[in-house]
Amino acid sequence: MLCSSSQTLRHHARNDCPSPDAAGVARAADVLRADGLVALPTETVYGLAGDARSDLAVARIFEAKGRPRFNPLIVHVPDVVAAEAVAVLDDRARNLAAAFWPGPLTLVLPVREAANLSPLVTAGLDSVAVRV
């Protein structure tokens, strides 16, 4: 979700590693609902995830990674329907999504006005990076 400041991540890390079963997923969901962060595997790297709607969770990602706030984050979503809730997809984007999602393709698209994302996610830009 990967980061150049691994010391910072170790400093913030807890030894709470839920298993990848239903109970572990439920525990991770509880952490996310409480504006916490979770590490998760993607097809290319491990990611650091938080609720993209929460200013606190997004700020924690920037802090943990030592990432500058002018560098937008990628919003990971479960499917194209969820992507359409945060971004405006045109026909080209829909065709790319159909061909490559889920997978290692990030689309940078206009942010949907009613996306309800923390403004920190986009670094104040009118676009959002989305990935399934």
pLDDT of 41: 82
Burial class (CB within 10 angstroms; exposed 0-12, middle 13-18, buried 19+) of 75: buried
For CATH 3.30.110, the residue range(s) in the chain are 72-132
- Mean pLDDT lowest for which of 5-19, 62-76, 93-107? 5-19
Contact in structure between 31 and 54 (CB atoms under 8 Å)? no
pLDDT of 55: 97
Q: At 86, is the pLDDT very low, low, confident or very high (cuts 50, 70, 90)? A: very high
Residue, of 114 and 10, whose pLDDT is higher: 114
Q: Given a cut of 70, is residue 15 above it in pLDDT?
A: no
Q: What's the CATH code, domain 72-132? A: 3.30.110
Q: Given a cut of 60, is residue 18 above it in pLDDT?
A: yes
Q: Given a cut of 50, is residue 74 above it in pLDDT?
A: yes
Q: Given a cut of 50, is residue 8 above it in pLDDT?
A: no
Contact in structure between 44 and 63 (CB atoms under 8 Å)? no
